[in-house]
Structure 1
Amino acid sequence: MSLLRMSWQAALALILMIVALFNLPLVDQPVGLDAPATAMTTTFLAWLILMAAIGVDALPRPAITRAAALFVLTHLATYLLMTEIADGDGLDRLSFFLMIAASWLIAWRCVTLLSGIEVRTPFASALLRLLIPAIFGAWIVILWEAATRGAGIPFIILPPPSAIGVRIAGSVAILWADVQQTILKAVVFGYVVGCASGFVIAILADRISFLRRGLMPIGNLMSALPIVGVAPIMVMWFGFDWQSKAAVVIVMTFFPMLVNTVAGLSASGAMERDLMRSYASGYWQTLAKLRLPAAMPFIFNALKINSTLALIGAIVAEFFGTPIVGMGFRISTEIGRMNVDMVWAEIAVAALAGSVFYGIVALAERLTTFWHPSNRQG
């Protein structure tokens, strides 16, 4: 093993580990007169595992082997640290925070090694594309847990992810009812109607120049309307049920689709349009075979933007009046009761649903516009 082979992440982690050693209790504090005073602490065991991970990184082994070893050792040490802090032993201990920082650096090194691996099979490539962001996301949760419990942050300010997970597990029925009301009714209906109507009006605006010149400035104006001003009006017009929230979603998704589709229909080159005219193609033939395919990246860009806008619009609209169900209703009600873990549980479910929604649209884009340069693999 040579120190010259050590990465900068491992070198910095080694420095942190050495500093942590001077603050590390090597024995458990005796509880009674007959209690042993020489037992190795969990923190010291985690320290040894992290030192082994630093040593593995310097070994002349293939990147995939070192990455797998770093992954296992780092997360084992982190698990030991978290089990100790769950009992309150890690509070206000400098060695704990130094070792968490060292673990994060080694995990960073693991992701760096995984990113540099060249794979030849589609399955392995897809697995790496999922594994790398999964490790990154897991460490966001780990650092969140370590900060809230290790630093003693009050629960009312920021609950730890473990408490939020317990709340989610214990409130599945409530969360599912809220998802049905907000997402499966208001978001889905409003998203489909808003995007579809924006697409149809964009085709008409492209065909009729008067409509395009008159509608586009209004579209840009309507896109700047604040949702907190639109939502109460829609609630007054369409009532307190999900229909008013769907109306807000329609307003929010209509104009991004309109603007992007009109811009995309102008994306085809002059040479391609001249070629279609030389074949005596009419407007609708040119639209179907040239201009709409060229506009697909713009259309999917609007669909991806609207996938997040629709969820935000429906949740915010529920703040201004709704039946006793819905994600926005639950957030506004539980924050008034200081049940912040339930509020964060709703936020987590909304984030997961929005990510899945966005991922479905992105997958459809990749399958539809595989010919576009942005989707080509080098």
Structure 2
Amino acid sequence: MSQLQYFLALLAGGVSLIGLVFGLISGPLEQALLLKAFLALGTLSLVRFLVPLGFWADAALAFLGTVSVLTGIGIFSPAPAFFWLALVASWLFAWLFVERFSRVLAPGWRDSGGLGLIIPIVFGVAILVVWEAITRGANVPQVILPPPSMIGARIASSIPTLWADFQQTFLKAVLIGYLLGCGLGFVVAILIDRSPFLKSGLLPLGNLVSALPIVGVAPIMVMWFGFDWPSKAAVVVIMTFFPMLVNTVAGLNAASVIERDLMRTYAASYWQTLMKLRLPAAGPFIFNALKINSTLALIGAIVAEFFGTPIVGMGFRISTEVGRMNVDMVWAEIAVAAVAGSVFYGVITLVERRVTFWHPSVRGA
């Protein structure tokens, strides 16, 4: 084990020992027995300094700690000190497992068979468990921050509403505006590359468009295109146009002078050079713009809905439910938007790996 791993192992075992002591003196042994059992096993993990323990033992301790913390939330009000120490210990064991597992996985990363997904899953579950434990164990008011369990229950009970909002915002405004904005930026970049006059005239205008504040543009788009999704798609077009324009222009200039001279020796025309050399070389730049715009488009559509929309949409739902103090519904919309944006980004990344498989950044991924 590395120095960091030894430190994490010592810290996790030490916190477990302190928590066990607090647990034994705070009440009867049978009270919160699972928490105390986890703390006892965590303390026994200190034998790793005499007898080696595999990283799956740390995974088992992290899992047991998670279960014991979640089941022990409702036992005390407020939660005692050993509950919080158990939470810290389980988090440390999860960190230790991820650290050791990543070191083992790194040499054969490409042949891991999907095992690399374990690391982000453990990280995400740890965040949700800490969130749940703090909000419920410390009796945080639900108006300030609801626990994940409450948000999940709200999602399960509001699927028709969330689906209608998702259709209005993502499937209409985001996707259509994204395609139009990225497509327009790409076409204008080709025109700019072809004409020095357009490069001098359109690039400053593109910079001007990117600097327009969304809170000022959105009401104007609503007046121009109405309250339905076309006005939100127009805002998305404005937000996604400039990143695609700048990245495509930069990518078209990525081909080296030697490569361009080689195409001239073959008597290649401008369009042949563009299709066979310069566009493939610009692929990583174009996909960078597509990934950036995948998040900008969703943000732009949601914010634009704050300034006028039919009685449906993610932004509309967030603004109205905040006024009603239904914070769990607000977080449900945020969760749906986060998942949709992450999946959208992931799809673009997968397409990038298929298209630009030759690029060093993709080969080393």
Q: Give the TM-score, by structure 2 length.
A: 0.93
Q: Distance in 1 between matches of 2:30 and 2:277?
A: 78
Partner of 2:313: 326
Partner of 2:61: 73
Partner of 1:82: 70
Residue 243 of structure 1 and its aligned partner are, at CA, apart by 0.8
After TM superposition, the structure 1 stretch with the greater mean CA deviation from structure 2, 175-184 or 93-102, is 93-102
Partner of 2:23: 24
**What is the CA deviation profile of residues 170-189 of structure 1, one whole-angstrom value per residue up to 9, with x for unaligned ones?**
11111111101100111011
Q: Distance in 2 between matches of 1:320 and 1:5?
A: 50
Confirm or deny: 8 A CA contact 2:131 2:147 kept in the other structure: yes
Q: Structure 1 residues 38 and 305 mapped into 2: Cα distance closer, same or farther (>3 Å)?
A: closer
Q: Distance in 2 between matches of 1:353 and 1:57?
A: 45
Partner of 1:196: 183
Confirm or deny: 8 A CA contact 1:27 1:38 kept in the other structure: no
Q: Structure 1 residues 38 and 108 mapped into 2: Cα distance closer, same or farther (>3 Å)?
A: closer
Question: Is 1:44 equivalent to 2:36 in the alignment?
Answer: yes
Residue 123 of structure 1 and its aligned partner are, at CA, apart by 7.9
Q: Structure 1 residues 328 and 309 mapped into 2: Cα distance closer, same or farther (>3 Å)?
A: same
Confirm or deny: 8 A CA contact 2:169 2:313 kept in the other structure: yes
AA matched with 1:347: I
Q: Which 5+ residue runs of structure 2 have no aligned equivalent?
A: none
Confirm or deny: 8 A CA contact 1:90 1:96 kept in the other structure: no
Residue 274 of structure 1 and its aligned partner are, at CA, apart by 0.7
Q: Which 5+ residue runs of structure 1 have no aligned equivalent?
A: 30-36
Partner of 1:33: none
Q: Secondary structure at the match of 1:73?
A: helix
Q: Distance in 1 between matches of 2:4 and 2:145?
A: 40
Partner of 1:34: none
Residue 27 of structure 1 and its aligned partner are, at CA, apart by 7.8
Partner of 1:156: 143
AA matched with 1:156: V
Residue 90 of structure 1 and its aligned partner are, at CA, apart by 5.9
Q: Distance in 1 between matches of 2:245 and 2:34?
A: 59
Residue 266 of structure 1 and its aligned partner are, at CA, apart by 0.7
Percent identical:
58
Q: Structure 1 residues 142 and 190 mapped into 2: Cα distance closer, same or farther (>3 Å)?
A: same
Q: Structure 1 residues 262 and 40 mapped into 2: Cα distance closer, same or farther (>3 Å)?
A: closer
Confirm or deny: 8 A CA contact 1:334 1:343 kept in the other structure: yes
After TM superposition, the structure 1 stretch with the greater mean CA deviation from structure 2, 364-373 or 351-360, is 364-373
**What is the CA deviation profile of residues 138-189 of structure 1, one whole-angstrom value per residue up to 9, with x for unaligned ones?**
1111111111112221111011111111111111111111101100111011
Confirm or deny: 8 A CA contact 1:186 1:242 kept in the other structure: yes
Partner of 1:238: 225
2:162 pairs with 155, 175, 178, which one?
175
**What is the CA deviation profile of residues 220-262 of structure 1, one whole-angstrom value per residue up to 9, with x for unaligned ones?**
1211111111111101100000111111111111111111101
Q: Secondary structure at the match of 1:219?
A: helix
Q: Structure 1 residues 54 and 314 mapped into 2: Cα distance closer, same or farther (>3 Å)?
A: farther
AA matched with 2:154: R
Number of residue equivalences: 364
Q: Secondary structure at the match of 2:364?
A: coil
Confirm or deny: 8 A CA contact 1:5 1:58 kept in the other structure: no
